[in-house]
């Protein structure tokens, strides 16, 4: 489909219609403010663009040493190079404050995007100039449209030699049509940018200057917040934070009225009841800094301190004027793990918090700030069911908890079945694989075995771009196989699309566990013997226990081994041949890999120091095959 003529038509895009100006309504436009959410598929450059915009607006002092992707401030975010939590910042441009909300692009954190969209009036949609529309582009755009946000398209990474920006603009247009965008939403402005180089242009192939074209477009096209500043206070809690000086923080948008530091307010709970509290401090963001403010007005995105218990979605009001806003709707979880008290022989060696009480309290705290995670008690006091939107989201929770000193065991993820029209349905995902042509055969075959069906295939030079619909269940543990099959050159993206009738049985794991038969310390001698047959997860000199999984056998079925055997002294020979024993370094399994690898009768043991795989039943003779 051909897109309409997108003129950067300044006048006709003023979001204020004449009617709203004439009517004697308390609703007025805040010309000094714009609230913009930045959304895109993973890695399309959102956080880098925020860096560039901050720099353009002089948010950093000349001598200030700022890290790249400064908004990715969490440890795990920096290590992995991805945004996990959405964060807001603000810049001043031509007398207008633009409040920017950076969001995560990874599908597992879609819930995070969904809840912050309510704070914005427009969405800056980034799209990689080569990759184009990807699964998460569709997901976040659909959410933005359902919030009635007006999209502004930034075709980013225009510096890539293989860019195909014009096609990408058409892809976005088609996607908008498919998603049922309104005419106004279809008339989206387009900016061609390289966030990394800090340059952009309104014209494809035009002169690339700084990022002011992005800022100018925001001022022209992002609607000014239309708010009632005189009405009674309504503020909705969207994100929770914590500060060691001021305690719990609540981040959200002022929907109506004003809020002053020191005032008494109430929070309206989900059950309709309310608790009162005093607003001890109020903050706004100026650049990357948090600054204290005395008053917040409708339209502002602010941080409130003083309320110790609040849930995401609660409304803050004036006492006696409780008026709750609709709760924030989040897509339901799709996968579940069971988190239990560690009962391995090494339990308690490393962890500070190991009891079911401590684990339960920590999980309860997570739910308060992370609405896309659900916790359920099970019939066993020491086991908790934790559900979320994907393995990465759960892996990040597991990693965060172990860094805080927790120790526990995790079961294999299972999908969450939903009844749709009386039929049992399972989550299915849109999968996009961008791979070298030579790997196409094996990827298609593997995904077909996993009940995937191909929906499209395009050739881009020597690479193939394929789309599939695959049950989430079939994708557990697939990523590492995919990387092997594409020799590390493939890109794989997934995003939950919905629920479909259960697709039937899937093949099991085609490798088997290598299991230690003894407790003790691993020896080079025994590792040398076993490594001919299997890939090991442990190095020499490491403590292992009976029933611990120490490696991967190339064939299914258990391989029980003694990995702690010391070489007998009587046949000890110190020939040079012996001393030159070459040991393959152990394969270090990550949390996500482990979640995709373990079977129902196995567990991942997590401590602040170690990740161990184990059988649930440790004693070999008690384990049935």
Nearer to ligand GTP, 154 or 606 (CB): 154
Q: Are strands 33-39 and 96-102 parallel, antiparallel or unpaired?
A: parallel
Distance CA 537, CA 594 (A): 11
Judged by CB under 5 A, which of 46, 389, 412, 494 binds Mg ion?
Answer: 46
Residues composing the chain = 625
Site membership for ligand GTP, residue 105 (CB under 6 A): yes
Let me know: does 147 contact 67? Beta carbons within 8 Å: no
CB closer to Mg ion, 46 vs 494? 46
Give me the least distance between CB of 47 and Mg ion, in Å please. 3
Looking at 46-54, 163-171, 286-294, 503-511, which segment touches ligand GTP (CB under 6 A)? 46-54
Distance of CA 47 to the CA centre of its chain: 14
Query: Residue 102 is encoded by which pair of tokens?
Result: 């950076």
Element (H, E) at 467: strand 463-471
Residue pair 54/89 in contact by the 8 Å Cβ criterion: yes
Burial string for 50-88 (b: 16+ CB within 10 Å, else e) reads: bbbbbbbbebeeeeeeeeebbbbebeebeebebbbbbbb
Residue from 35, 83, 185, 516 touching Mg ion (CB under 5 A): that is 83
Which of Mg ion, ligand GTP, none sits in contact with 565, Cβ below 5 to 8 A by type?
none
Q: Measured between alpha carbons, how far is 610 from 345 in angstroms, rounded to an integer?
A: 13
- 586 contacts which partner out of ligand GTP, Mg ion, none, CB within 5 to 8 A by kind? none
Q: Tell the smallest beta-carbon distance from residue 39 to ligand GTP (Å).
A: 9
Q: How many residues bind ligand GTP (CB under 6 A)?
A: 22
Q: In the set 92, 159, 366, 500, which binds ligand GTP (CB under 6 A)?
A: 159
Smallest distance, ligand GTP to C-beta of residue 389, A: 15
Q: Does residue 69 bind ligand GTP (CB under 6 A)?
A: yes
Task: Tell the smallest beta-carbon distance from residue 46 to ligand GTP (Å).
Answer: 4
Chain position whose Cβ is nearest to ligand GTP: 105
Minimal distance in Å, beta carbon 210 to ligand GTP?
13
CB contact at 8 A, 249 and 305: yes
H or E segment at 77? helix 75-80
43 lies in the binding site for ligand GTP (CB under 6 A): yes
Q: Which residues sit opposite 201 in a β-bridge?
A: 192
* List of E strands, 287-412: 289-292, 295-297, 301-305, 315-317, 335-340, 374-377, 383-388, 408-411
47 or 369: whose CB is closer to ligand GTP?
Answer: 47
What track of x and - describes contact with ligand GTP for positions 181 through 220 (by CB under 6 A)? -------------xxx------------------------
Binder among 48, 234, 340, 372 for ligand GTP (CB under 6 A): 48
Contact between 547 and ligand GTP per CB under 6 A: no
d(CA 406, CA 392): 19
Interface with ligand GTP, residue 156, by CB under 6 A? yes
Residues touching Mg ion: how many (CB under 5 A)?
Answer: 3
Contact 308, 275 (CB under 8 A): no
Least distance to Mg ion from the beta carbon of 106, Å? 9
Task: List the one residue from 42, 120, 538, 603 that touches ligand GTP (CB under 6 A).
Answer: 42
- Would you count residue 48 as binding Mg ion (CB under 5 A)? no
Q: How far apart are CA 192 and CA 158, in angstroms?
A: 6
Name which of ligand GTP, Mg ion, none residue 412 binds, using a CB cut-off of 5 to 8 Å depending on partner kind.
none
Q: What residue ranges in 437-486 does DSSP mark as E strands?
A: 453-460, 463-471
47 lies in the site for Mg ion, by CB under 5 A? yes
Q: Are 337 and 395 in contact (CB under 8 A)?
A: no
Which stretches of the chain bind Mg ion, using CB under 5 A? 46-47, 83
**Site residues (CB under 6 A) for ligand GTP?**
40, 42-48, 69, 81-83, 104-106, 156-157, 159-160, 194-196
């Amino acid at each position: 489909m051909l897109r309409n003529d997108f003129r950067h038509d300044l006048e006709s895009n003023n979001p204020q219609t004449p009617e709203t100006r004439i009517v004697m309504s308390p609703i007025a436009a805040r010309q000094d403010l714009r609230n913009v959410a930045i959304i895109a598929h993973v890695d399309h450059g959102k956080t880098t663009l925020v860096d560039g915009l901050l720099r353009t607006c002089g948010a950093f002092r000349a001598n200030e040493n700022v890290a790249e992707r400064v908004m990715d401030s969490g440890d795990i975010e920096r290590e992995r190079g991805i945004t996990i939590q959405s964060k807001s910042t603000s810049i001043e441009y031509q007398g207008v404050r633009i409040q920017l909300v950076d969001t995560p692009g990874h599908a597992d954190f879609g819930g995070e995007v969904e809840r912050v969209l309510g704070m914005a009036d427009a969405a800056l949609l980034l799209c990689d100039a080569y990759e184009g529309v990807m699964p998460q582009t569709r997901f976040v755009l659909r959410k933005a449209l359902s919030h009635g946000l007006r999209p502004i398209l930034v075709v980013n990474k225009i510096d890539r030699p293989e860019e195909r920006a014009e096609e990408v603009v058409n892809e976005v247009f088609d996607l908008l049509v498919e998603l049922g965008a309104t005419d106004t939403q279809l008339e989206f402005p387009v900016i061609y940018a390289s966030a990394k180089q800090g340059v952009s242009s309104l014209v494809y192939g035009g002169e690339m200057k700084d990022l002011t074209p992005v800022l100018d477009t925001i001022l022209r096209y992002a609607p000014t917040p239309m708010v009632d500043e005189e009405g009674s206070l309504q503020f909705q809690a969207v994100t929770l934070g914590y500060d060691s000086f001021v305690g719990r923080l609540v981040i959200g948008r002022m929907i109506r009225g004003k809020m002053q530091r020191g005032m008494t307010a109430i929070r309206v709970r989900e059950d309709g009841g309310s608790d009162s509290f005093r607003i001890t401090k109020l903050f706004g963001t100026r650049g990357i800094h948090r600054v204290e403010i005395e008053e917040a007005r409708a339209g502002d995105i602010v941080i409130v301190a003083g309320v110790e218990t609040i849930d995401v979605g609660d409304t803050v009001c004036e006492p006696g004027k409780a008026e709750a806003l609709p709760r924030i709707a989040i897509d339901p979880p799709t996968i579940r793990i069971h988190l239990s008290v560690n009962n391995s022989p090494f339990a308690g060696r490393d962890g500070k918090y190991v009891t079911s009480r401590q684990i339960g309290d920590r999980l309860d705290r997570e739910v308060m700030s992370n609405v896309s995670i659900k916790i359920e008690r099970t019939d066993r006091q020491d086991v908790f069911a934790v559900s979320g939107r994907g393995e990465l989201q759960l892996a990040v929770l597991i990693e965060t908890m172990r860094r805080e000193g927790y120790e526990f065991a995790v079961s294999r993820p299972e999908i969450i079945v939903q009844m749709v029209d009386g039929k049992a349905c399972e989550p299915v995902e849109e999968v996009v694989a961008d791979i070298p042509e030579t790997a196409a055969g094996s990827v298609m075959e593997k995904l077909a075995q996993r009940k995937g069906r191909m929906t499209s295939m395009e050739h881009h030079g020597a690479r193939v771009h394929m789309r599939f619909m695959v049950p989430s269940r079939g994708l557990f543990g697939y990523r590492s196989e995919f990387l092997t099959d594409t020799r590390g050159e493939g890109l794989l993206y997934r995003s939950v699309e919905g629920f479909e009738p259960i697709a039937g049985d899937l093949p099991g794991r085609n490798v088997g566990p290598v299991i230690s038969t003894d407790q003790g310390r691993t020896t080079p001698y025994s590792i040398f013997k076993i490594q001919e047959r299997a890939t090991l997860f442990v190095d020499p000199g490491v403590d292992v226990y009976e029933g611990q999984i120490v490696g991967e056998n190339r064939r299914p079925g258990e391989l029980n081994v003694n990995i702690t055997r010391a070489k007998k002294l009587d046949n000890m020979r110190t020939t040079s041949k012996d001393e030159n024993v070459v040991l393959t370094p152990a394969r270090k399994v990550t949390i996500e890999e482990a979640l995709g690898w373990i079977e129902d009768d196995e567990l991942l043991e997590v401590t602040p120091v170690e990740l161990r795989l184990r059988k649930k039943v440790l004693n070999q003779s008690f384990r049935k095959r």
